[in-house]
Amino acid sequence: MIEVTRLNQKTFILNCEWIETVEATPDTVITLTNGKKLVVAENVEDIIRKVIEYKQKVMFFRPDNQ
């Protein structure tokens, strides 16, 4: 899950596993796997960075602290 910002400056949490494409048109448009499109304030590079950070956290998360 990543936090993104709508153009009206309201933030929301997006399940990044549902992202199909991210485009700059010039606004950043995220298309989800269900076809829904979201316009966000972050640029494409910010979305990519947030997704990578999320996936790194998930890959290294170990609930038993082993």
Q: Which parts of the chain have pLDDT scores under 70?
A: 61-66
Q: Where would I find the H helices in the chain? A: 44-60
Report pLDDT for 18.
Answer: 97
Rounded to two decimals, what is the model's pTM?
0.85
pLDDT above 70: percentage of residues in the chain: 91
CA distance 48 to 31: 14
Kind of pairing, strands 19-24 and 28-32?
antiparallel
Report pLDDT for 37.
Answer: 98
Report pLDDT for 60.
Answer: 79
